Amino acid sequence: MDKADGAFLTIGELARELGVAQHILRYWESRFPQLRPLQRSGNRRYYRPRDVEMAREINRLLNVDGFTVRGAQRALADARKARHAAAATEPAAATPVLVDDIASARSPAVAPAERNGQAELPMDPPPARVDRVGPSDLSVLIARLTAIRQDLKDALDS
């Protein structure tokens, strides 16, 4: 009886699928922090779909491509860095953002109002609450903070 796609696999099922011994999978768990199956009572391991994909990738690197464990660790780390770099360069429309575009993140050049001899800077309304912040959101936030920093600097210099 085959399991449906996306079903959790036991260590025995995954070991048979990959053609490696169960103790090899447990060793990989100790060497690759990306491979973390669920562990239930009695240390029974259940591999989620993402764990299964990671185990397949580790198996490919070690047993097909001939990498050493350290080389496979580096290859996975490099692939992770490349994914993060690619995600950072994606357009902002791919994920929810706080402002429509970076240009609108900079507050307009408005002369600060005077109050009690001190300059009062215009305040932007607080951003909408975002539960999950992606790389493109961070670049927009960085642009906003840079603009605020420049506004503060200009206000202090004048």
Where do the structural domains in the chain lie, given as residue ranges?
A: 9-84, 102-157
pLDDT at residue 94 greater than cutoff 70: no
Integer angstrom CA distances of residue 46 from 17, 51, 52, 84, 104: 14, 9, 10, 27, 47
Residues 6+ apart with CB under 8 A from 85: none
pLDDT at residue 1 greater than cutoff 70: no
The mean pLDDT of 54-78, rounded to a whole number, is 92
Q: Which residues pair with 21 in a beta bridge?
A: none
Q: How confident is the model at residue 100 (pLDDT cuts 50, 70, 90)?
A: very low
Q: How confident is the model at residue 55 (pLDDT cuts 50, 70, 90)?
A: very high
The mean pLDDT of 21-43, rounded to a whole number, is 92
Q: What is the pTM of this model?
A: 0.54
How are strands ordered across the β-sheet holding 9-10? 9-10, 44-47, 38-40
The mean pLDDT of 75-93, rounded to a whole number, is 77
Can you list the alpha helix ranges (DSSP code H) found in 111-134?
none
Q: How confident is the model at residue 99 (pLDDT cuts 50, 70, 90)?
A: very low
Fold for 9-84, please state it.
Multidrug-efflux Transporter Regulator; Chain: A; Domain 2 (1.10.1660)
* Least confident interval from 25-29, 84-88, 122-126, 152-156: 122-126
* pLDDT of 29: 94
The mean pLDDT of 146-150, rounded to a whole number, is 84
More confident of the two residues 34 and 111: 34
The mean pLDDT of 51-60, rounded to a whole number, is 93
